[in-house]
């Protein structure tokens, strides 16, 4: 009887440790510029995200979800994506970049975009991972996203955050209980990251 209790107690402790480890994974790392003044930021532009994955439309999908999350907070006015595309095309042509080329946004480009789009800040993003990870008999969605907000006047980084998250918990995946979709996971990660800004 005592050995069975010890086995159950050992299994319970092991299960508790796995659940705690699953909760810790997927945390957000962030930086907030101590001298940043967000009071004057009324209007922002979310530029196209760098897509560093094999998934062709990952950057566009994640960007749309981030914009929806920002809009739902009602803190900033956000420039429409078509207006951003037109403005970017003009600015990049002036600077000698080709359409679709990855352009580093330096202080000068940030300032010019700020003037043309009438925004006080821009948000840049990178999608490092996006897709379904397959292991054994199961599969689970995974996303890795980084965002940063740049002051268009000074070119300074006001805020930066990143999150790498796998869908569902280890126990849920083990027993086939989690039904996390790529879209749901992306919304969860976008919300977690933006929570560090607002």
Which structural domains are found in the chain, ordered by start? 2-195 (3.40.50.10610)
Q: How far apart are CA 32 and CA 44, in angstroms?
A: 17
Per-residue confidence (pLDDT) for residue 25, from 0 to 100? 46
Per-residue confidence (pLDDT) for residue 21, from 0 to 100? 45
Per-residue confidence (pLDDT) for residue 174, from 0 to 100? 56
Tokens of 100: 């679709």
Per-residue confidence (pLDDT) for residue 24, from 0 to 100? 42
Instruction: Write out the chain's pLDDT in tens, 198 residues.
Output: 566 766 656 655 655 454 444 444 458 999 999 998 889 999 999 999 999 999 999 999 999 999 999 999 999 999 999 999 898 888 778 877 776 666 678 888 899 999 999 999 999 999 999 998 876 667 789 999 999 999 999 999 999 999 999 876 555 555 555 567 889 999 999 999 999 987
**Residue 182 CA: distances (Å) to CA of 7, 106, 168, 169, 174:** 37, 32, 11, 14, 18
Pairing mode of beta strands 28-32, 157-166: antiparallel
Question: Measuring CA to CA, which residue among 190, 183, 192, 145 is closest to residue 164?
Answer: 145
Per-residue confidence (pLDDT) for residue 106, from 0 to 100? 86
Its pTM stands at: 0.80
């Amino acid at each position: 009887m005592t050995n069975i209790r010890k086995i159950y107690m050992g299994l319970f402790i092991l299960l508790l440790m796995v659940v705690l480890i699953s909760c810790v994974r997927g945390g957000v790392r962030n930086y907030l510029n101590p001298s940043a003044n967000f009071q004057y930021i009324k209007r922002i532009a979310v530029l196209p995200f760098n897509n560093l994955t094999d998934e062709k439309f990952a950057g566009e999908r994640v960007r749309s979800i981030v914009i929806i999350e920002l809009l739902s907070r009602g803190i900033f006015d956000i420039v429409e994506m078509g207006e951003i595309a037109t403005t970017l095309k003009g600015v990049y042509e002036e600077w000698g970049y080709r359409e679709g080329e990855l352009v580093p946004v330096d202080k000068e480009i940030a300032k010019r975009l700020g003037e043309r789009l009438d925004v006080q800040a821009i948000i840049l993003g990178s999608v490092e991972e996006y897709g379904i990870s397959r292991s054994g008999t199961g599969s689970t969605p995974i996303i890795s996203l980084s965002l940063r907000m740049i002051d268009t006047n000074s070119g300074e980084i006001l805020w930066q955050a990143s999150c790498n998250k796998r869908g569902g918990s280890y126990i849920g995946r083990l027993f086939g209980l989690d039904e996390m979709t790529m879209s749901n996971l992306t919304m969860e990660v976008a919300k977690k990251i933006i929570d560090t800004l607002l």
